[in-house]
Structure 1
Amino acid sequence: MVDLYISKLSKNKNNNSMNNMESYPPVLRHLDQQQHPPPPPNLDPNEEFQEPDPVPIIDLECLQHEKLEEACKNWGLFRLVNHGVPLTLLKELQEVAKELFGLSFEAKEGACSGSPVTYFWGTPALTPSGTALTKSPQNMNWVEGFDVPLSQLSHFNPQLPTLESVRVLLMEYEKHLSRIGIRLFEAMAKNLELNIKRSKEYIAEKSGMVRVYRYPNCPDTNVGLGMEAHTDSSVMSILNQGDEVGGLQLLKHHKWLNVKPIPNTLIVNLGDMMQAISNDRYKSVMHRVSINKHKERISLCYFVFPGEEVVIESSKYKPFTYNEFRSQVQEDIKALGHKVGLPRFHHSQPLLL
């Protein structure tokens, strides 16, 4: 089934170029690369990643609990190898995502009208995309994307063939990412000595979602960030950042470190829910995305959350549900322009913003 859709996709290439100005949301169109000279032909796409990659490596086939514990405590992020996701599937997802983003802005916006899939740009997916138009360029994220709730994929009947190809591939991808998420969380729960029955409530498969991102390239990287510095609200996030174009950076010892894109590996980072569940033993990692000078970046991130009404209890935080946490984040973004997150629920007072 997947190969059939990919075959159809390759035979019906959309005439729009990836660099076609019409494919970008209006607010991003001045970054169109046709007005800039192309990069040198011998450019190494990983020129910014010549230094050794310090990110901890976790082998899912031979999972070592001690190494996982160290990565969760000291980094909140690790590289996953031997994860069992077929390399062909990872590549197909990247290619179909490129085709999808190459469609005109109007086609992408119209395709999601009235559907469970949300198209957003210039702002995190938690806020309406239209707010990007009122932001100054300095405060805007240089990104567009699709927010895909996986539990509703089987009921989603997209009109665009390319979006249908994405849907079919994501249904296959979900099986692998759900398996990985459960395996990793069970290992973390064992390390944390969580109640096994209770821990199963902390990672709800039906809560899983995928966000597909495109970050435009720009010779002037001072124009802003692809994604501002933030922590994820999830239990964990699993990122397929492609083979060549980097941009993901994590904050470590008050310095931003590049996370090198390495083929056939995934990046796992812990979110706010995992930090609260672990009573601050594990770290919700601060990260951001920079803009690449020469190539735009396509990435896919899988997020998993607790059940919305599952109460998270720990000695560091007041009891709260993910539904309450999400509502508070939305309120803070609307009122303050940024996420506050876990400090809203911390026992210590007062909260300083």
Structure 2
Amino acid sequence: MGLTYASYPPLFRPLETQTQDTFEPENSAKQIPNSSDPLPLIDLQCLDPEKLREACTDWGIFRLVNHGIPPTLLEKLQEHTRTIFSIPFESKKALFKSPLLGYFWGTPLLTQSAVALSRGTNNIDWVEGFSVPLSQLSELQPQDSVIASFRLILEEYKEHLSRLATTLFKAMAKDLNLDLSRHNTYLSESTGFLRLYRYPQCSMADQNWGMEVHTDSSVLSILLQDEVGGLEAVKDNKWFNVDPIPNSLIVNIGDMMQAMSNDEYKSATHRVNLNKHKDRISICYFVFPADAHVILSSKYKPFTYNDFRAQVQEDTKNLGFKVGLDRFKVLHD
């Protein structure tokens, strides 16, 4: 077996090394997106409040340009990410034993033992990745030279992400008449983390998902994707492709932002398709409210993000999927 396949978690290796029913989902039909990328375009250097509001209320997702991150940094970030994922699987597991580098494969919300128990079902995401809490980067003192150089790149990227998230959130909070003096609790930079994903190539890409339909639990998510593509989002019950365009980022409104906005803003519904011939790399930044911040809304019972996260984990474990904000909705007579 070549190095590429040796780097895959065993669950995702080619069919000849697995039994057929390991990969066969119960329902193989896929709904094909009927349009290419029509995303709203938001220019951070000339931030238009009306365009931003329209993107958040009508779409929940938009493309960000003129964001100020050097293209060379984005290229280095993607190159190092590919290098790390190309490490043989057993070596990766050993390398990422640090609690600061949470390595996973399959559905991110499930433990690896739960993923193992789910083999042969259609609820396993065809993805591997690891999570990096950005506030703890300075505590990461790796012996491995690859991880050490990667940490330096992440430190630089972290500063840009903090700037982008804060700038965008303040503009959104002003639009929603939120108390700007509390913006550090609505969106707490200390909660920010990166999740680096690899979606392995899959010969049965038309019958499996890289990541099934979901919304993000965050306030905001900021995504850097490579040239392979595969991200799809929904608007007006129609799926569309989110095309990979160099030096642009994709911003998602998350569940916490939808609740804070009293449902004025939409948490973006999206999914990831697989490619039969190429791995896909994506790097996503998620940021949340402060732990003690209580979200107050006429649409929802008061809750904190910790309450929400615990409910999502319980639902995923017991039901196999995330219920999300519906668990907290106020039921009117």
Q: TM-score, normalised by structure 2?
A: 0.91
Unaligned runs of 5+ in 2: 18-31
Aligned match of 1:299 = 282
Matched, 1:346 2:323: no
User: 1 CA distance for matches of 2:152 and 2:183?
Assistant: 30
2:250 aligned to which of 239, 260, 267: 267
What are the Cα deviations for residues 199-218 of structure 1, in whole angstroms up to 9, with x where unaligned? 33111010000000000112
CA contact (8 A) 1:235 1:305 kept: yes
Question: What is the letter of the counterpart of residue 296 of structure 1?
Answer: D
Matched, 1:187 2:171: yes
Amino acid at match of 2:216: D
Tell me how far apart the structure 2 counterparts of residues 335 and 159 of structure 1 sit (CA, whole Å).
39
Name the CA shift for 1:337/1:349 in 2 (closer, same or farther; >3 Å): farther
SS across alignment from 2:297: coil
**1:118 equivalent among 59, 83, 102:** 102
- Report matched runs for 1:254-293 at 5 Å: 254-293=237-276
Give 1:11-26 correspondences, 5 Å limit: 20-26=4-10
Contact 1:111 1:158 in 2 (8 A): no
Letter in 2 for 1:144: E
RMSD: 2.0
The residue type paired with residue 177 of structure 1 is: L
Tell me if structure 2 keeps the 8 A contact 1:111–1:159. Answer: no
Which of 47, 50, 71 matches 1:66?
50
**Structure 1: runs of 5 or more not aligned:** 1-15, 34-47
Contact 1:138 1:223 in 2 (8 A): no
- CA deviations 1:133-177 (Å, max 9, x no partner) are 111252211100011111111101223322222221111100001
Report what 1:11 is aligned to: none
CA distances 1:85-141 after superposition (whole Å, capped 9, x unpaired):
0100000011000100000111111112143110000111x3212322111252211
Distance 1:159 1:138 in 2: 38
Confirm or deny: 8 A CA contact 1:116 1:156 kept in the other structure.
yes
The SS at the match of 2:13 is helix
2:186 and 2:288 in contact (8 A); partners too: yes
SS at match of 1:109: helix
User: Is 1:92 aligned to 2:92, yes or no?
Assistant: no
Q: 2:46 aligns to what SS in structure 1?
A: coil
In structure 2, what residue type is equivalent to 1:305? Answer: F
Do the aligned partners of 1:123 and 1:131 also contact (CA within 8 Å) in 2?
no
Counterparts of residues 25-174 of structure 1 (less than 5 Å): 25-30=9-14, 53-124=37-108, 126-135=109-118, 136-174=120-158
Letter in 2 for 1:294: H
Contact 1:151–1:208 (CA under 8 A) maintained in structure 2:
yes
Separation in 1 of the partners of 2:214 and 2:194?
A: 18
Structure scoring higher RCO (CA < 8 A, sep ≥ 6) equals 2
Give the secondary-structure state (helix, strand or coil) at the position aligned to 2:322: coil
Aligned to 1:145, what secondary structure does the other structure show?
A: strand
Pairwise CA distance, 1:332: 0.9
Report the secondary structure of 1:207's partner residue.
Answer: strand
Amino acid across the alignment from 2:170: E
3-state SS of 1:318 partner: strand
Percent identity between the aligned chains?
A: 55
Tell me what 1:250 maps to: 233
Deviations 1:256-300 (A, max 9, x none): 211000000000001000000000000001100000122110010
Report the alpha carbon displacement of residue 51 of structure 1 after superposing the two structures with TM.
Answer: 6.1
Q: Which residue of 1 aligns with 2:20?
A: none
Q: Relative to structure 1, is the Cα distance of residues 96 and 49 closer, same or farther in structure 2, using a 3 angstrom cutoff?
A: farther
Which residue of the partner structure matches residue 212 of structure 1?
A: 196
Contact 2:40 2:55 in 1 (8 A): yes
Query: Hey, what's the Cα distance between the residues in 1 that align with 2:53 and 2:153?
Result: 32
* One-letter amino acid of the counterpart of residue 11, structure 2: V
Count, aligned residues: 318
Distance 2:190 2:231 in 1: 27
Distance 1:158 1:349, change over 3 A: farther
Amino acid at match of 2:176: L
Q: What is the CA–CA distance in structure 2 between the aligned matches of 1:305 and 1:206, rounded to whole Å?
A: 9
> Aligned AA for 1:83?
H
The answer for the alignment partner of 1:42 in structure 2 is: none
Contact 1:31 1:217 in 2 (8 A): no
For residues 163 and 190 of structure 1, the distance between their equivalents in structure 2, rounded to whole angstroms, comes to 39
Residue identity in the other structure for 1:320: F
Distance 1:313 1:30, change over 3 A: same
Distance across 2 between alignment mates of 1:32 and 1:71 = 45
1:151·1:207 contact (CA, 8 Å) conserved in 2? Answer: yes
Equivalent residue number for residue 292 of structure 2: 309
Structure 2 CA distance, aligned partners of 1:50 and 1:340?
A: 27
Q: Give the letter for the 2:278 counterpart.
A: K
**TM-score scaled by structure 1?**
0.86
